[in-house]
A and B are shown apart, each in its own frame.
Chain A
Amino acid sequence: MSAIDVTALSKRFSASEAPVVQNLTFTLEEGQCLCLLGPSGCGKTTLLRLLMGLEKVSEGDITLSPGLIEHMSYVFQEPRLVPWRSCLENVLLPLELTRSNSAGQRDRATALLQQLGLGERLGHFPSELSGGMQMRVALARALVTEPRIILLDEPFAALDERSRFRMQDLLLSFKAELGLQYVFVTHSIAEAVYLGDRILMMDAQGGQRDWRAIDFPARGQALKMTAEFNGIVESYSRLFTDMEIALVENGGRV
């Protein structure tokens, strides 16, 4: 059973311009976590927005497993918190808007924030939090609706390395504990290898280049020190460089 089926998907924003996503086909199996990797401007964000329904499909199809759309969450590249709402109120926003604001779910919001290390900050406004904390609030907001799949658009790109590692491990723990599935956009090869069961590499022409399954028995920051991990990262780096060279030979169109 596949969770997401993408067939010959293309997206162009205007008829005169080259498509941002071109003829993309892939299947995401139930339970699998996917990382979208590629250079800037290759259409990773657009693909994610198409999956969420934030953009209209130009050609091709996206098929979600029945009922999945109701259980999808999205984390933007920036925290995108509502400035006049406190930490807790930001996390409660999805529940208020979907009118599922029961006492149990309020408790869940509080528990999530505590789990993310923000238990002392429930009443703080976003402007009083650091970037890393804001991102954690955004993650809590995406998780509070108990999604089956969560789409994340370079969510940790603006964080310092230590916070980024913590957030990566948090995401992995949600995957392990809740069976959460995610599609994760990143331009960091190491991050993609660390977080993805599979990696979809996209090139700047809007096509896909490689599609490889990664199966590490266990994940933890120590994994990043192993030869196996670094070997994979290196092979991807080489592939990435080849793509860049091919791009230059094609006239450097991005």
Chain B
Amino acid sequence: MLGALRDWIAEKFPAWIFLGGLLSVWQLVVAQEWVAAYLLPSPTQIFTTTFTLWPEIWAATLSTAYSICWGLGFSILIGVSLALLFFAIPLVRRAVLPFCIFFQTVPIIAIAPLLVIWFGFGDPTVRASAFIVSLFPILANTLTGLQETDPQLRELYRLYRPSPWQLIVKLQLPSALPYMLTGIRISAGLAVIGAIVGEFIAGGGIGSLIDAARTQQRVDLVFSGVLMSSVLALSLVFAIELLSRLLLQGRPYLRKV
């Protein structure tokens, strides 16, 4: 127990020391007016701003969080379904997958104006933006997972003449599960970017908070927005970690026997 605590401190302590050092130097640089405060506000200034404007910042954060969950949730739903479809019908995969890859290479910032035209200002565009950027990693990873199913295990299952549905539920999806979760982890980060980019263009949430603060030269508020978006991303990573544990239940899904 004590040893574990010591290990934990040894592992995490350097990062905290570094953060403390960084913030101190930052504070010092601004306090000494080596850099103008309107360009780089001090850490204490950022925290004060965040504290005073908390109701607005919190509302914006919630709005963004909602859009992210919506976009990511839809990505998981559609991504896994599409992966299953592509896996089950190779002809569809060969026909459609190249366009998915092409779609993936188009930057979201280039598509965002189109989304505004189609969905108007506000949440629908933000959600669509979060969805579009986060779809591909889930789709690609799940598909890889399905395709990587151990052929020896497939042969074993074949001995018992399973239905296609049994094969999917009892062999292919469990095989793909670790890949799928990796895809979701990657997509979560992208969904945050997608939502904030969407908000820059379509309004609402942290994105428009940052954008508005920028036009008002409120750099401290920009930093507050940045801070909250990373808090949001970290919470999401944490939530997905919990989801993984729940789904994997300590079962060794990837180990070969």
* A233 proximal to B (CB < 8 A): no
Contact B174 A84 (CB under 8 A): yes
* B245 proximal to A (CB < 8 A): no
- Residues of A close to B12: CB separation below 8 A: none
Contact A97 B170 (CB under 8 A): yes
**How many A-B Cβ pairs are below 8 Å?**
51
Contact B257 A127 (CB under 8 A): yes
* A165 proximal to B (CB < 8 A): no
- Residues of B close to A98: CB separation below 8 A: 160-161
- Chain A interface size band reads 20 to 34
- Residues of A close to B255: CB separation below 8 A: 83, 127
Chain B CB within 10 Å, residue with most, of A79, A84, A126, A134:
A84
CA distance A125 to B153 in the complex (A): 16
- Residues of A close to B161: CB separation below 8 A: 97-98
* A81 proximal to B (CB < 8 A): yes
B175: nearest chain-A partner, CB-CB: A84
Interface positions, chain A 59-111, Cβ under 8 Å from B, are 74, 76, 78-85, 93-94, 96-98
* A52 proximal to B (CB < 8 A): yes
* A227 proximal to B (CB < 8 A): no
Contact A82 B153 (CB under 8 A): yes
* A1 proximal to B (CB < 8 A): no
**Given that A96-B170, A97-B161 are contacting pairs, would A127 and B156 also be in contact in the complex, using a CB cutoff of 8 Å?**
no
- Residues of A close to B257: CB separation below 8 A: 79-83, 126-127, 134
- Residues of B close to A15: CB separation below 8 A: none
Known: A84-B174, A84-B252. 10 other contacts (CB 8 A): A54-B155, A74-B159, A80-B257, A83-B252, A83-B254, A84-B253, A85-B251, A97-B162, A97-B166, A98-B160
State the A residues within 8 Å of B (CB). 52, 54, 74, 76, 78-85, 93-94, 96-98, 125-127, 134
